[in-house]
Amino acid sequence: MVEWRPCEWWLQGHLTALPAKSNGYIRVDCYGGLNQMRRDLCDGVGVARLLNATLVLPKFEVAAYWNESSGFADVFDVDYFIHQMNGFVKVVKELPSEIASREPVHVDCSKRKGHFDYIESVLPSLLKHHYIAITPAMSQRRDRYPKYAKAALCQACYSALRLTRSLEKKASDLLEAIPKPFLSLHLRFEPDMVAYSQCEYSGLSAVSMNAIEAARGDKKPWTGELAQIWRKRGKCPLTPNETAFMLQALHIPKTTNIYLAAGDGVMELEGLASVYKNIITKSAILSGDDFASMHGNTKAALDYYVSINSDSYIATYFGNMDKMVAAIRAFKGLYKTLFLSRRAFADLTSKGLEGEELMQALWKAHMDDFVMGIGSALPDCFCEFKL
């Protein structure tokens, strides 16, 4: 039997010493939701070490779309981050006076054809300007990194990011208040999510259909045969009703305590709540002005904290949060982590299966998937161990 665990070359800390002189300063500009920004930051740390740069505290972009205005220091403990990265990469709170007065030169690392090479494309700008800002490219080749750059990336993602004391206290209180044992369910069925998927649904309420239509913009849904092909590829988010059906197929008792790790605006929630009565939400536990004043990143941080400490974790999608949660659960040795297969559901229902026959087929499709955890976000940090 094989198990995936954090690689010894990272955890044992046999590091290549940092060069005496840095090539300059890099600021990582992070966009999107909290877990996308977290991923970009981890990648940015690896890039900074690869290029022998000093890392400036990252910039979390203000985004009205995510109802967001909180920065890095509002979510994560800055001093802890700097301390944990010591020896892996140098991090500074403040820039030297001769640089601090100017904005960094933005270097485009956007997705291009082929794989993006930071040494060829970014290092010349760093050496020329001494202070640059990047958003890591999605197409980068981590397999070409030297181990010291990979180790910096792994350290940042798994050992250096701790919530601020006040936010961790709130998350700990939330975790303590949830009845045990419990399952954390990351449910994605918001209007923008469905609109972006370009999938069509029948049987939704008029309120939900109107919300989806308002969010569509120019992303019109696929129709006819193309819609079926798209759905069979697993591109369509599961509805709460479909999620409840799949949980029953997996023999998860209806009395299970389920923490709903979800953002605001999940539609058709009664499809889940009508079957699983013990649904717990953060808004029900952390009520009051304090919770109402929280923004997207800090709310997402609560869901993340609860999910990595839950007895089991199930996701209806495979987004940034799911990848990060799966990875950190593997790091912590928590392996009851499952991603519901949208592809299997679409394939089986297209064949006309329903009721008990569909449940049995869904169970067979998932029975081997309570993964031991490769660390889906950053597999570079995990190695095989034979038991």
Domain's final residue, options 144, 162, 180: 162
d(CA 362, CA 341): 9
**Same-domain status, 251 and 364:** yes
Alpha-carbon torsion (274, 325, 339, 203), positive or negative: positive
Local confidence band at 10 (pLDDT 50, 70, 90 cut-offs): confident
Find out whether 320 and 32 touch, Cβ atoms under 8 Å: yes
Is residue 115 predicted with pLDDT exceeding 70? no
Local confidence band at 151 (pLDDT 50, 70, 90 cut-offs): very high
d(CA 55, CA 8): 25
Local confidence band at 334 (pLDDT 50, 70, 90 cut-offs): confident
Residue 74 covered by a domain: yes
Is residue 313 predicted with pLDDT exceeding 90? yes
**Same-domain status, 330 and 371:** yes
d(CA 277, CA 131): 54
Residue 90 covered by a domain: yes
Local confidence band at 13 (pLDDT 50, 70, 90 cut-offs): low
Domain's final residue, options 162, 181, 214: 162
Q: How many CB atoms lie within 10 A of CB 364?
A: 12
State the pLDDT at residue 29. Answer: 93
d(CA 246, CA 349): 12
Label residue 333 left, alpha or beta by phi (over 0 means left) and psi (-120 to 50 means alpha).
left
- Structure tokens, 134: 């990047």
Is residue 368 predicted with pLDDT exceeding 80? no
Residue 102 covered by a domain: yes
Pick the range with the lowest mean pLDDT from 33-42, 79-88, 176-185: 33-42
**Same-domain status, 171 and 155:** no
Residue 34 covered by a domain: yes
57: domain CATH number? Answer: 3.40.50
**Which of the two residues, 289 and 97, has the higher pLDDT score?**
97
**Same-domain status, 260 and 323:** yes
The percent of residues above 90 in pLDDT, for the chain, comes to 65
Average pLDDT for residues 56-73, to the nearest whole number? Answer: 73
- The label of the residue with tokens 């981050």 reads 81
The 8-class DSSP code of residue 142 comes to G
Residue 201 covered by a domain: no
**Same-domain status, 105 and 178:** no
**Same-domain status, 136 and 182:** no
**Same-domain status, 305 and 339:** yes
d(CA 112, CA 152): 25
Q: Which of 357, 327, 360, 371 is nearest to 7 (CA)?
A: 327
Find out whether 321 and 313 touch, Cβ atoms under 8 Å: no
Helix (H, G, I), strand (E, B) or coil at 278: coil
Find out whether 204 and 267 touch, Cβ atoms under 8 Å: yes
Residue 214 covered by a domain: no
Q: Which of 184, 168, 194 is nearest to 322 (CA)?
A: 184
Average pLDDT for residues 335-343, to the nearest whole number? Answer: 90
- The label of the residue with tokens 């990047």 reads 134
d(CA 347, CA 53): 49
Pick the range with the lowest mean pLDDT from 1-10, 270-279, 293-302: 1-10
**Same-domain status, 346 and 251:** yes
Average pLDDT, the chain: 89
Q: How many CB atoms lie within 10 A of CB 222?
A: 17
Average pLDDT for residues 224-250, to the nearest whole number? Answer: 96
> Which H helix or E strand runs over 19?
none
**Same-domain status, 170 and 157:** no
Count how many Cα atoms sit within 13 Å of the Cα of residue 246 in the half-sphere of its side chain: 26
Q: Could you give the angle at the alpha carbon of 183 between the alpha carbons of 182 and 188, nearest 5°?
A: 145
Q: Which of 189, 213, 227, 195 is nearest to 319 (CA)?
A: 189
**Same-domain status, 39 and 178:** no
State the pLDDT at residue 382. Answer: 82
- Structure tokens, 179: 């009845």
**Which of the two residues, 95 and 331, has the higher pLDDT score?**
95
Local confidence band at 104 (pLDDT 50, 70, 90 cut-offs): very high
**Same-domain status, 24 and 138:** yes
d(CA 5, CA 374): 7
User: Could you list the residue range(s) of the whole structural domain that residue 349 is in?
Assistant: 166-189+237-379
Is residue 130 predicted with pLDDT exceeding 80? yes
Local confidence band at 223 (pLDDT 50, 70, 90 cut-offs): very high
**Same-domain status, 90 and 172:** no
Is residue 113 predicted with pLDDT exceeding 80? no
Segment 159-170, tens digit of pLDDT: 999 999 999 999
Residue 295 covered by a domain: yes
Is residue 373 predicted with pLDDT exceeding 60? no
Q: Domain total for the chain?
A: 2
- Structure tokens, 267: 């539609």
d(CA 93, CA 352): 59
Helix (H, G, I), strand (E, B) or coil at 76: strand
Domain's final residue, options 162, 178, 203: 162
- Structure tokens, 364: 């067979």
Segment 263-295, tens digit of pLDDT: 888 999 999 999 999 999 998 998 777 777 787
Residue 385 covered by a domain: no
Average pLDDT for residues 220-235, to the nearest whole number? Answer: 94
